[in-house]
Chains A and B, each alone.
Chain A
Amino acid sequence: MKYLDEYRDVKIAHALAAEIRGRSTRPWVLMEICGGQTHTLMRYGIDDLLGDSVRLVHGPGCPVCVTPLEMIDRAIALARRPDVTLVSYGDMLRVPGSETDLFHVKAEGGDVRVVYSPTDAVELARSQPKRHVVFFAIGFETTAPAHAMAVMQAERLGLRNFSLLVSHVLVPPAIRTLLSSPNNRVQGFIAPGHVCTVVGMRDYEDLVREFHVPIVVGGFEPLDLLEAIRMLVAQLEEGRAAVENQYSRSVQYEGNRPAQEAVARVFEVSDRKWRGIGPIPESGLRLKEKYAAFDAERLFDLADVCAEEPSECISAEVLLGLKKPTDCSAFGTRCTPEKPLGAPMVSSEGACAAYYQYRRHLVTL
C-alpha cells in the first residue's frame, strides 16, 4: 500500500488545491473522462476542496454505463439459451436491460458467471467442451488487449465453443463528438490514464490541434487528479493548449506496443452505439472477419434483439457533461442504485451512482 498512500497524502493534496484555487481566475469547466477518476473525485470529495475555482463535469468513461441497451438484451438472450454459459465482469450483471438483468436471468436458471479476467472464460470453455462459452467483452481501449489475448488463446487451443459478444468503445471519438457539439462547454480534459497506458498519447494530440483544447493524461489517485487539474488550469490561464502527461509513471508517449499489436490483430475499428449518446462513427471495435468464428453475434442470431432507452433518463446530457446527475428530476427518488432508470446509476463508476453513493448528503432531494 506504500505506493498508493503516497498518492493520497493530505498535506500535498491541500497544497495542490490551494494552488489551483489561487491560480484560477474563473470557474474553468473541466471533464474527467474515466469512471474510475469520477469515483476517486467523489470518494475523496475533491470537488469540495476546489471550491469555485473549477467546475468538474463527468465524462462518458464508465464502460458499463455506455454499453447500449440492446447489447445487454443480447447478452440476456444468450444467457437464457440452455447451451450457453455467459461470462461477464461483475458490475455488468446488475445493469438493467429492457426487461430484466443478468442477475435475474441467473436466478431463473441461466448459466451466468463472473470472472476477473477473460482468460478465465477461455479456461472455462476448455474445461466444459459441451457448452458454448460467450464472454461479454465490454470496455474501452484498456480491456481490449486482454480480450484480444483471450481470442488468440482460444484459437491456439483450437476451441470451437468460445466466443465474444463485443461491445468495445474508443475514447477519442467520444471526445471529438463532445467538442463538436454546439452545446459543449468543456474547456479542458483529464484523459484516462489506463487507456493511454495502452494506446499512448498520439490520438490526443490530434484533438488538441483540431479543437485547441488542453488535455492532461491523468492517473486515478487523489494527488494524480489534483495535479492534472492544476496542469489544466495552468494551461488555460496561460492560453495554451497541449497534451501533457501527469501519469508518467504508467503512460509512455507511444503506449504499449505489444498490447496495441494484439488488438490490431484481432479487432478493427467500427461504428458503435453508445448508451445515452447514440451512434458515433468509428468509435468502437469489432472482431475482424478472420476471427468471425469467435464472434457471438455471427454465431447466434441476435440481429432482431433491439431496444429503446427509457425516456425519463437524462444520461445523454450527464455523459456529455451538460448536466450534473443532481440536475435530474429523478435523481435519488425515482432513480436509485436499487431501481436505476439508466446505466450511470448502476455501476459504481457511473457518474449518477458516484453522486448517489458518496455525495447525496450535500444535496436536497
Chain B
Amino acid sequence: MPPTTNTGATSLHSESVSKDETKDLAAFSCPVPLPAGERILLGHGSGGTLSAELLKNVFLPAFGNPVLNRLEDQAIVSLNGVRLAITTDSFVVKPLIFRGGDVGSLAVHGTINDLAMGGAEPLWLSAAFILEEGLPIETLRRVVGSMHEAAANAGVEIVTGDTKVVEKGSADGIFINTTGIGLVREGITLSATQARPGDAILVSGMLGDHGIAILAEREGLQFETAVQSDSASLHTLVASLLEATREVRCLRDPTRGGLSSTLNEIAASSGVGMELEETSIPVREEVRGACEMLGLDPLYVANEGKLVAIVAPASTEAALRALQNHPLGKDARIIGRVTSEHPRMVVMRTPFGTTRIVDMLTGDQLPRIC
C-alpha cells in the first residue's frame, strides 16, 4: 500500500542517485544487465534505490549525455544565450480526486515545481492524456477544469497536448503527462551537487500531508482525516527566496520517497553528510497520528507543495525569513546542517540526544505487521 502519489513510472529527470554510484554515472558506457528474470516491480517507481538502479542500469546507458547525467529535477539548456529549463513528469495517482486536489491540479503543480526547483520561471506546459475506455467524460471535464485553474493561477499556459484512449483495464482512469518549459535568469545555478559542509537545511512547511491525504482515500483503509494534500505551485515561493539571497545552493521538492529520499540524493550528489534535528522537523499532529497507526515514517511520505533548500551559512536567516513571509512557507524551519562527517549519510539527532540514520527507501514503504 504505497503512500506515494504520482508514482508508477520512473521519470528520467527525477530524483534518485544511489549512494555509491554518483561519481561514476557520467563515465557509464556499457549497460549492466539486470539479473536474469528480473521484472519491473512497483518499487521501481517509488523513487528509492530500485528507481536509482533502473536509472543506472537501463536509462543512463542508453540516453546518457552531459545534460541528463546531471540528474537534476529539470534539464537546463542554453540557446542563443537564453537558458531554458525543461522537465517532464507523469501522474498516475489513485484515487483521481482527493482532499485538496486531483490528478489534474497535481499534474500542473508537479511539473511547475520541477521547473521552479531549478530556479526557473515557468512559462509553458504540454498536457498528454492516456484515458481508459469507459471513463465518464464528466470526470475528465473536472480534471481538465482543475488543470486549467491551476495553470491560470500560476500564470502558465498549456500550449500543446495529446490524447490516447486504451482498452478498459489497460490504464487506471486517467494518466497525465505534462512537460514544462521555463526561463532561468542569469546568475542562478542550483544543483544537488553544491551542498557544502556548514550549509543549513531548510524545509518550507509541514511534511507528509499529501501522502496521508491520498492514503486516507484509498480503498480498504478506513480511517478519516481532515488532512488535505499540500499540492501547490511553488515558483513564487522560490522567486521570493532567490530574491532574498543568491546563496541558495540547491532546491528540491520532496515528492515520492519524502524528505529522506530527497536529502539522501543531495548528500550523495554532493558527497557530504547531513545531520538533522528530529525535534525541528515540522509534521502535523494528524499526520504523525496517521503514520503511527499505519506503521509509516512521515519522513518517507510524499509532499507536493513543499521544498527543501540548502543555503550557505551566512544567508540562513535571510532565507528562512523569505520563506516564512510567503503564504506557502509560513511553517518553514531550519531542520539541520550539512556536515563533512559520515559522507553520503543522513543522520538524525533524536530528542534523546542519540543519533540514527535516515535511510533511502528500498521500495515502497510497507506497513509493519504489529
Chain A interface (Cβ < 8 Å from any Cβ of B) = 1, 4, 8, 10, 13-14, 34-36, 39, 42-46, 48-49, 63-64, 89-94, 103-104, 106-108, 114-116, 120, 138-140, 142-143, 194, 222, 337-338, 347-349, 356-362
Q: How far is the CB of A113 from chain B (nearest CB, A)?
A: 9
Contact yes or no, B1 A90, CB < 8 A:
yes
State whether A116 and B354 are in contact (beta carbons under 8 Å apart), knowing that A361-B342, A361-B347 are contacts in the complex.
no
Q: How far is the CB of B361 from chain A (nearest CB, A)?
A: 9
Say whether chain A's binding surface is mostly helix, strand, loop, or mixed: helix
Is B41 located at the chain interface by the 8 A CB criterion? yes
Number of interface residues of B (CB under 8 A): 34
A249 to B79, CA, bound (A): 68
B205 neighbours in A (Cβ, 8 Å):
none
Contact yes or no, A10 B369, CB < 8 A:
no
Is B289 located at the chain interface by the 8 A CB criterion? yes
A90 neighbours in B (Cβ, 8 Å):
1, 366-369
Name B324-357 residues within 8 Å CB distance of A. Answer: 342, 345, 347, 350-357
Contact yes or no, A143 B357, CB < 8 A:
no
Cβ-closest 10 pairs across A and B: A45-B354, A90-B366, A358-B356, A90-B367, A107-B39, A48-B354, A89-B369, A91-B366, A10-B351, A337-B362
Count of A-B contacts with CB under 8 A?
112
State whether A143 and B370 are in contact (beta carbons under 8 Å apart), knowing that A103-B42, A103-B43 are contacts in the complex.
yes
Is B157 located at the chain interface by the 8 A CB criterion? no
A10 to B41, CA, bound (A): 41
Is B359 located at the chain interface by the 8 A CB criterion? yes
Say whether chain B's binding surface is mostly helix, strand, loop, or mixed: loop
A116 to B218, CA, bound (A): 12
A305 to B57, CA, bound (A): 34
A359 to B358, CA, bound (A): 10
Contact yes or no, B366 A108, CB < 8 A:
no
Partner of B356, one of A34, A142, A349, A359: A359
Is B66 located at the chain interface by the 8 A CB criterion? no
A346 to B122, CA, bound (A): 43
Is B49 located at the chain interface by the 8 A CB criterion? yes
A44 neighbours in B (Cβ, 8 Å):
350, 352, 354, 356
Q: A44-B352, A45-B352, A48-B355 are in contact. List 5 more A-B contacts (CB 8 A).
A: A36-B368, A91-B366, A107-B40, A138-B369, A361-B357
B354 neighbours in A (Cβ, 8 Å):
44-46, 48-49
A43 to B359, CA, bound (A): 12
B342 neighbours in A (Cβ, 8 Å):
361
A318 to B359, CA, bound (A): 23
Contact yes or no, A108 B352, CB < 8 A:
no
Is B30 located at the chain interface by the 8 A CB criterion? no
Contact yes or no, B42 A359, CB < 8 A:
no
B220 neighbours in A (Cβ, 8 Å):
115-116, 120
Please, could you name 24 A-B residue pairs with CB atoms under 8 Å apart, sorted by A? A8-B351, A14-B352, A36-B370, A43-B356, A49-B354, A63-B369, A64-B369, A89-B367, A91-B366, A104-B39, A104-B41, A106-B42, A107-B39, A116-B367, A139-B369, A139-B370, A140-B370, A194-B370, A337-B362, A338-B49, A338-B362, A347-B369, A358-B356, A358-B357
